Structure 1
Amino acid sequence: MVELAWWVIGWSIRGDPMETTTELRKTLSRRLLPLLSDLEDLVYRHGYLRVVTSAVATLGTIGLLGQVLGLAWLRTIFATAAACLFLTTALISFSGTRRLRDRLTQTEQLLHSYLPDLPQTDPVSIRRWKQETSIEENGDTWIRQEVAMAEAADRHLRYLTFTAICYSQNKLTNRDKRKVAYDFVHAMASAPGSGVRIPTTSRWSETERGCSRLTVYVHLGRAVEEGDVVTAEWHWPKHSAELMKEIRPEAFDILFTTTVAEFDFQVKFRNLKDDTALKVKPLPTTQVERSRDGQDTILRLSGTSPRRGDRFGFIADVRRPA
């Protein structure tokens, strides 16, 4: 009878494995999910490092006690618990960070889709727009932009849009994109010298030719005083590497989508020992001034009241004749 009973039990387990798996999954869910939920909440409220430090201190006390008392099983429990703790909290932190990043990305994309239609008038009028671009020998690019604005006190939400394009033939990886750094400061005309960092959102996209484009939205609020200045500092590693390695030419151009009274655009090629190697082809309606400052070559163009949608600039090429 005993052998028959065991045979019946074994047959029932083998005969319906799906039911057994379902019951096991339900049991694990009932036991583990509340624990993981509590641990996840703990990590979110106190931070990954604080939770791990506190837990390690507690487990360390247990491990030390096991060492003093000579209890091997206690030391084993410490090691196992510590490993499980690190793994679980790391997974929770990674999952939470990824989830928050995805939510932030979705929120920014939604915001950017509505931004152009928020004010029915211009985003903000510009009195003076100035940009200085410096290109190192290895292609690293530094950009400084200074924008002086006209008064906008009609209580509409106001913003500025800054766009930078990388004309590289190679697609930028996520790691390449994370290396691009920028900082924006807003100085009020009524309090010169008291600039403060202002909130920005950004998005990556591609041009019609498949080039990587970074658009940064600078959120100014509901009032802009006459003469307020926004200063931007950019650093884009290897932005012009293909140009400086004599692989292909590169376009340096600007295009305005709002009213601009005057603009000044300057590109400096640093430590360009052979100035004759740099060939410049201006775009239509563009006049480029060329000068030399030590080992640097400077190209400059300026103008007043440019038409919206018109592109100004030039194409630079340092390739030598074959």
Structure 2
Amino acid sequence: MPHPARPTVTLRDVATAAGVSVATASRVLGDSVRAVAPAYEQRVRAAAAALRYTADTSARAMRRANDSIAVVADDLTTPSIGIVAAAMERQARDAGAFVTVSPTHGTAERQLETIRLQRALRPRALILTSSRIGAGALGGRLLDELLGYEREGGRVVVVGDTDMPFDSISFDNHGSAKELAAHVAASGHRRVTILAGVRGRGNVSARTAGFVAGLSDGGVERRHIRIVHCAVSRQGGFDAARRLVAVGQEPPHAVLAANDVIAVGAMSAFRAAGTAVPEDVSVTGFDDIELAIDVTPRLTTVSLPLAQAGAEAVRLALAARAEAAHLMLRGQVVVRDSMAVHAE
């Protein structure tokens, strides 16, 4: 014979039994940061135990919706976004908030679709991470969607290059790349190949332009600077470098990759072809992901403050509203074993 259902005990029942207001009972059982007198807290917890009260966790989750920060990211598979997202999560947790992350694969259409979905869920803030987010994307519809979200009380922060009127954090990809290339030129390298990633992708395009500027300023002739486009992946770097050693021409003195993952792929291809790094060719990367010091030889690269960008984005998202802040973070050249002085 089935047992009769246990009567539902409400928060009001607990408050009545404890002789306190519903608000006081809610603060005690909801772990509110607002203080409650110890005597009242003891009475509420005793009443809840006696009545076998169970909090409605789904309702609590709905009430806590405004504690969420929705991160809309181009690609969750890259090590650099992993560093940024981890820093966001730590900063949000310390502030009593939590982070959700949604990928868009770098397309404006998916960005718009994801932002519309997130608006319906009413997060406290939206953080967009992308190499480039322009106000004119999709005829301005993306900007309109974000402005509408802010009018509803939300907060928008962009990590990446943008001309939108929101808080933003970007990296000086051009300046940092120029500094690295100048060091390569000063080390005697006069034939250089740039593994530039995909055409038109904002951050790697800025790095390529910076590489060219730094090499040119350092005395490398433009005709000796070769730009090779490839997939922004380890395989893309491997395939591009394999083609370099297969053409039968004199190999470059140095290869400058648009990020560390491409550089690691290139070093693997050189090793497979019997081309020694850095004895035969120097290789550099960009980002300074953890893998950069785990490969052999250790990778010369530009260390970007990725974790700082993630933490700062959450800080801006949770800060009291003010005029939009625009921060530019600069990378630092880190010279390791994958680059050597070239002697003619």
Under TM normalisation by the shorter chain, which class is it?
A: under 0.3
Larger Rg: 1
More strand per residue? 1
More helix per residue? 2
TM (norm. structure 2) is 0.23
